């Protein structure tokens, strides 16, 4: 993998995660900085394991989700289980794989692809 391919993959992953943050109206400067930190970390990771480039979007989403949990709370909240009174975050599935989705961990419902939160449902 050359540097251009790596940068394109990282920028695409960054854009997907930012789109999800914007869809949830949580893309303020501090949170965007968390995205930048995750991208920098995964740049090194993909340089060490180039075959993992197709997993980088899901990994950056998970990194941002973990950083948000530590500093601000759960994100993104599950829109499927709003009646339960037990707010919980969506998970990224597969944890290490291509085509990552936000999935409700309680019902196994795939809510949206990473980068498509808040978009009309895909059929």
pLDDT digits (tens, 9 = 90+) for 63-117: 999 999 998 899 999 998 887 778 899 999 999 999 999 999 999 999 999 999 9
Average pLDDT, the chain: 92
Radius of gyration of the chain (CA): 14
DSSP character for 92?
E
Query: Where would I find the H helices in 24-114?
Result: 29-48, 56-71
Domain boundaries, the chain: 3-113
Which pTM does this prediction carry?
A: 0.92
Pull the structure tokens for residue 6.
Answer: 């790596």
Interior/surface letters 42-53, b for 16+ CB within 10 angstroms, e for the rest: beebbeeeeeeb
């Amino acid at each position: 993998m050359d540097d251009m391919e790596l940068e394109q993959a990282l920028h695409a992953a960054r854009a997907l995660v930012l789109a999800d943050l914007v869809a949830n109206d949580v893309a303020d400067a501090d949170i965007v900085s968390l995205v930048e930190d995750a991208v920098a970390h995964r740049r090194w990771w993909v340089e060490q394991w180039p075959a993992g480039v197709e997993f980088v979007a899901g990994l950056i989403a998970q990194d941002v989700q973990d950083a948000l949990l530590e500093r601000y709370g759960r994100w993104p909240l599950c829109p499927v289980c709003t009646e339960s009174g037990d707010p919980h975050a969506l998970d990224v599935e597969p944890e290490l794989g291509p085509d990552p989705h936000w999935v409700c961990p309680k019902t196994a419902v795939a809510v949206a692809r990473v980068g498509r939160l808040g978009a009309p449902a895909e059929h």
